[in-house]
Structure 1
C-alpha cells in the first residue's frame, strides 16, 4: 500500500487529491495550519482530518513513499525540512499528477480564462458518452464527487493553470503535465503579484506551446490576437487546430447552437462561453467523440459552479453569480448577461478580492470592463486589503480606473446587502462577480427578490 503525506492538505485541489488517493486505496496523512469548509468536513468523513492544526515533524518518517507539497506551505516548513533530511521524495501536486498519468494520454486545458468551463464541458460529454477518463479540475462540478480522479483510465483531462507550482518550484503548474494535447483559450494579464511584467506573463504561454510534441496537438482560440501571436512565433511540429465561438442564436433569452442538424439548445451563453464550448468540442473530437455525440450530450450541461451560475430566476428577472475577477473575465461576463437579455436592466456587482485587482498599479487594466452594466457596483473588504499590505482605493480612484463616473463603492458587506435588498428588480438582472464571498454576505434575502 502506498503511503503519502500532504503538507497543506486543506487546499481546494490538495484535499481533493488526498480524497482521490484514499479512494484509490492509498494510506494518506496530512497537516495544515488552517482548514476551512468544505475541506474540513470532507477530510473528516474520510478519516484523514488532522487532529490538530500546525506542522509536526514527527509525522514525517521513512515509511512514506512521498510528500505532496501544497503552495500554501513555506520553504522552511518543519515537516518539509524533516522530509529533506530523510531523503523522502517531495512532489508538488502537478508533479504527482504527471507521475500518476505517465502512461495516459494527457490533455491540458490552459489560458487566462475559461479553463474550468472548458474542462467541465469535456468531462460532462465524456461521462455522458460513457468514456473512461481521469481528471483534475479547479472547481466542484455537478455529477462529480471530487475535483480529482486517478484510476486505470487511458486518458486524463487536466485544468492546467499558469500559477506557481510550489514554494520549491516557481514555474507555472502547466509545464509539469507534459501534454499530448493542449488547448489554449486566451491570454490576458493576471497574477500581477507573480508576473508584474506582461511580457513575462505572455512568455509562460509561449513556453507551454513549445512543449507540444511532434505527434501531439495544439488547439487554440483563433479569436484571441495574443494567442495567435504566440502560436505564430512558435515552431512546433504537432498538429494545430483552431476554434472560435460556436455559431449560435438567441431567442427569448435562450441560446441555441446552429448545427447542420438544426438548432441545439444549451444552458450556457455569451461569446466566451460559446468559445469555450467550441474549444471543448475540438478536444472531444480529438478523443474520438463525434459531432453527433457532442450535440447529444451538450444540452444537459449546466455549467461549473460559480461560472455564470443561475442562482434564481422568474419571468422578468434573474440572479447570476460568476467567478470573474480578472479584467477580461469581468468584461466578458457582464457583456454576456447584457447581450443575452438586452431589454433588461443589468446591476453588476464586482468584489475586488485578488492581489492584482486590489493593486492600484493594476487598476488601469479594468478600464471600461463594466460599461455594459446599467448600474456598476464595486465591493472592497478593507481587511483583505490590509492582509495583502496594499492601500485601500477610494471611490474616485476606482471611478477613474474603471472609466465609469457613476460607479458606486461599498466597503461594508452589510451596507451592500441592505442596498441590494432595497433595489427594485422588475425587468432586471443581478450579476454578482467575485473569486471571494463578499465577506460571507448572506444571499438568502436577496435571492427572495427573485422568487
Structure 2
C-alpha cells in the first residue's frame, strides 16, 4: 500500500502516518508548517518532508489512498491533483474506518468526557492483555502514540463531532460505524460549526442511526437532553445500556468505587470521571472483560493528559490542570474537586480561548459554571481575540454571563501572574482550566513552585 498525507504535520495525522509506516505501508506526506512534537516524531521515522509546502508533483497514479487533514484548504493544489487523477481521497475518520472494516469498532462520542472514557477503555484492555487498535485525542501513559493501526481484531476510537476535512464537512464520528457506541452527554458547543442547538442535536441522531445492526448504545441517562434524544430515536435492531454515577464512597480524599459487585480504590475522582468510568466498564464488558478485571485494571488509571491532571501536590495543596472550556466541562471540573476536598479553599482559573467561549452571545451558557469555586477568575487575552478576528469581549458581559459573585475578570497576563504570586496556597486547591496557554504563562513551573 502507498498512502500520501496532505497535512502530515497535524497532531493526529502524523500519528496515523507513523502507525501505517510501522504497519509496512509506503508513506509520504506534505505540509506548509510542521511544529513540535510532530516534527521530531516524523523525523525519527524518516517521514519528515524534505521541504515545507505543497508539492502536487508528488501526487501520482500509483498512490492507493490520499489522506486529507483539517489544516489543508479545499483549493489545495495536491487535492486538485488527486481529484484530477481520480485517486481515493479520505478524511482522517474515513480512512480509520477503511482500515477497520473487519474489526469490532468501539466509538466514544458526546460533548464531554470522550477522551477520558476512551483512555479508560484502552487502559483496562491493555491491563487485561487484549490486542486492540486505538484513536484517542490526548497523550496517555503507557502508549507511545495516540493512533495505532495494526491487524488487531478490535479498535477503540474517540469520535468527535467536528468536521472531518476541508472537503467533507460532516462530523468525524459519522464515519466510524460502531458496534459498541458510547454517548457521554450533550452540551451545545462549537457555535462556529453548529450555529443552533437543534442542528447540533441532529449530529447525534445521525451517529445513533449509524450504529451497526446488533450493536449496543451505552448512554448517560443522567443527562436529560441525551436521554430524551435516545428515547425519541429508538431502534429495534440495537441494544441499549443506560448508565449514571456508580456506587462509590469518598474517605480522606480517596474514592472507592463498586462495579458489578466488585470494589476498588481509584486514583481519579469526581462524578464526571465516575460516569466516564461506568461507560468504560460497560464498553469493556462488551469486549469480554469481567468486573473483577475491570476494577483491577482501572485502579491505577491516573487520567489522560490535561484531564484533571495533577501538576503538583503537597500535604495541603493540589494544583490541577484541565482541558475544560465548555460550560458543562468547567462546572463538572470545579464540582469534582470541591466534592473531593470539601474543606479546602478552591481557586478556579478559566481561560476563555475558543471561538465559542470568546463570543459575547455565548456568555449566558456559563451561568453557574464556577459557583462552587471559593475564588473564581476568568482570563482572556486580547491576543487570542485578535488571532480569531473577534471583537473585544467587555468584562461586564462576562460578569453578567457567569453570574458569580466576586468573579475576577482579567485580560492582561501580567496582572494574572502578579495575582497568582501574591496568594497563599495553604489548605487550597488550584484548578487551571484552559484549552490554551494563558498567553504564554509558565503554569507548570508555577505549580511546581507552590507545591515543592
Structure 2 SS opposite 1:169: coil
Which residue does the alignment assign to 1:78?
A: 77
Identify unmatched segments of 5+ residues in structure 1.
none
Normalising by structure 2, what TM-score?
A: 0.97
Distance 2:415 2:343 in 1: 28
Shift in alpha-carbon separation, 1:35–1:263, aligned structure 2, 3 A: same
Which residue does the alignment assign to 1:425?
A: 425
The C-alpha deviation readout for 1:117-171, integer Å capped at 9, x for no partner, is 0000000000000011111111111100011111111111010011101111111
Which residue does the alignment assign to 2:303?
A: 303
Which residue does the alignment assign to 2:218?
A: 219
Structure 1 residue 359 displacement after superposition: 0.8
Normalising by structure 1, what TM-score?
A: 0.97
Distance 1:164 1:339 in 2: 36
The C-alpha deviation readout for 1:360-409, integer Å capped at 9, x for no partner, is 11111011101111111112121221122211213222111111242222
Identify unmatched segments of 5+ residues in structure 2.
none
Which residue does the alignment assign to 1:289?
A: 289
Which residue does the alignment assign to 1:191?
A: 190
Structure 1 residue 52 displacement after superposition: 2.6
Distance 2:40 2:103 in 1: 32
Structure 1 residue 288 displacement after superposition: 0.4
Which residue does the alignment assign to 1:134?
A: 133
Distance 2:48 2:183 in 1: 36
Structure 1 residue 263 displacement after superposition: 4.1
Distance 2:446 2:268 in 1: 26
Which residue does the alignment assign to 1:360?
A: 360
Distance 2:259 2:186 in 1: 28
Q: Aligned-pair RMSD on alpha carbons?
A: 1.3
Structure 1 residue 84 displacement after superposition: 0.9
Which residue does the alignment assign to 2:380?
A: 380
Structure 1 residue 268 displacement after superposition: 0.7
Instruction: Please state if 1:22 is matched with 2:21.
Output: yes
The C-alpha deviation readout for 1:194-215, integer Å capped at 9, x for no partner, is 0010001011111211222331
Shift in alpha-carbon separation, 1:380–1:246, aligned structure 2, 3 A: same
Q: Is the 8 A contact 1:104 1:155 kept in 2?
A: yes
Deviates more, 1:191-200 or 1:210-219: 210-219
Q: Is the 8 A contact 2:353 2:435 kept in 1?
A: yes
Shift in alpha-carbon separation, 1:260–1:219, aligned structure 2, 3 A: closer
Instruction: Please state if 1:436 is matched with 2:436.
Output: yes
Instruction: Please state if 1:343 is matched with 2:343.
Output: yes
Structure 1 SS opposite 2:335: helix
Where in structure 2 are the equivalents of 1:376-415 lying within 5 Å? 376-415=376-415
Which residue does the alignment assign to 2:63?
A: 64
Q: Is the 8 A contact 1:395 1:408 kept in 2?
A: no
Structure 1 residue 235 displacement after superposition: 3.0
Deviates more, 1:354-363 or 1:57-66: 57-66
Which residue does the alignment assign to 1:276?
A: 276
Structure 2 SS opposite 1:235: coil
Which residue does the alignment assign to 2:111?
A: 112
Distance 1:243 1:235 in 2: 17
